[in-house]
């Protein structure tokens, strides 16, 4: 009797150990912004514009995809960005300037080139919005851009941007595709606005 009780206890301990050591649910990694090399557009006598560190909302700046339904927010299960969203976005913005700008040259975060213009980007929302639970979501990106004269720090131009890109379905791959399209749209608008408002000395 004692042996059977000990044996049963041993099996229970072994099973609980298996449960504790079981593999977590798999998480697929995604990215937005083109991973390919960007063809750099040659700009004659460009206005040098320094990009400040891009500000991101705390709930969206990491590697998880934020979903919002009404007043409720939760991270989308089973998917993460391959790097923090704030980093991926800043990289995609620099790539957009390199390939699309006609009047300015963006001085990246790692460059030390002196400049008299600073571009300040404050991303206000970077999220997946649902009208109702289980419905097809819309990716919503909004940002405020300010072009500053340096070292005076006076504001030369300021503009708010918003992009809404519906996903083609309530699937992670479709949502990620919507982020990619929305990011390219937002970046193109910011590049065009900066080109139009940056002026030489």
151-163: pLDDT as tens digits? 888 899 999 999 9
Q: Which residues pair with 106 in a beta bridge?
A: 49
Domains of the chain listed by start with CATH number: 27-197 (3.40.50.10610)
Half-sphere exposure at residue 58, Cβ-oriented, CA atoms within 13 angstroms = 0
Q: Strands 117-130 and 138-149, how do they pair?
A: antiparallel
**Three-class SS of residue 34?**
coil
pLDDT digits (tens, 9 = 90+) for 113-125: 778 899 999 999 9
Determine whether 142 is exposed, middle or buried from the number of CB atoms within 10 Å of its CB (0-12, 13-18, 19+). Answer: middle
* pLDDT by position in tens, the chain (length 201): 434 433 444 434 333 444 444 455 678 999 998 755 556 666 678 899 999 999 999 999 999 999 999 999 999 999 999 999 999 999 999 999 999 999 999 997 777 777 889 999 999 999 999 998 889 999 999 999 999 998 888 899 999 999 999 999 999 999 999 999 999 999 999 999 999 999 766
Comparing C-alpha atoms, which of 127, 56, 42 is closest to residue 90?
56
**C-alpha dihedral sign at 167, 170, 172, 173:** negative
The reported pTM is 0.82
Residue 55 per-residue DSSP state: B
Q: What are phi and psi of 65, to 5 degrees?
A: -90, 125
């Amino acid at each position: 009797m004692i042996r059977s009780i000990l044996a049963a206890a041993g099996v229970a301990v072994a099973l609980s150990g298996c449960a504790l050591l079981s593999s977590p649910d798999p998480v697929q990694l995604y990215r937005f912004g083109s991973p390919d090399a960007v063809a750099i557009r040659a700009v004659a006598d460009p206005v040098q514009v320094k990009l400040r560190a891009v500000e991101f909302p705390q709930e969206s700046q990491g590697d998880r995809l934020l979903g919002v339904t009404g007043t409720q927010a939760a991270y989308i299960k089973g998917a993460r960005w391959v790097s923090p969203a704030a980093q991926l976005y800043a990289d995609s913005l620099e790539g957009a300037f390199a390939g699309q700008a006609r009047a300015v040259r963006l001085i990246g975060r790692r460059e030390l080139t002196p400049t008299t213009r600073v571009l300040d980007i404050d991303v206000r929302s970077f999220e997946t919005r649902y009208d109702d639970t289980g419905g097809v979501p819309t990716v919503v990106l909004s940002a405020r851009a300010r072009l500053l004269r340096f070292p005076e720090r006076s504001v030369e131009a300021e503009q708010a941007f918003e992009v809404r890109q519906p996903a083609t379905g309530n699937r992670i791959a479709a949502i990620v595709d919507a982020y990619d399209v929305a990011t390219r749209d937002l970046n193109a608008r910011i590049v065009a606005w900066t080109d139009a408002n940056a002026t030489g000395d």
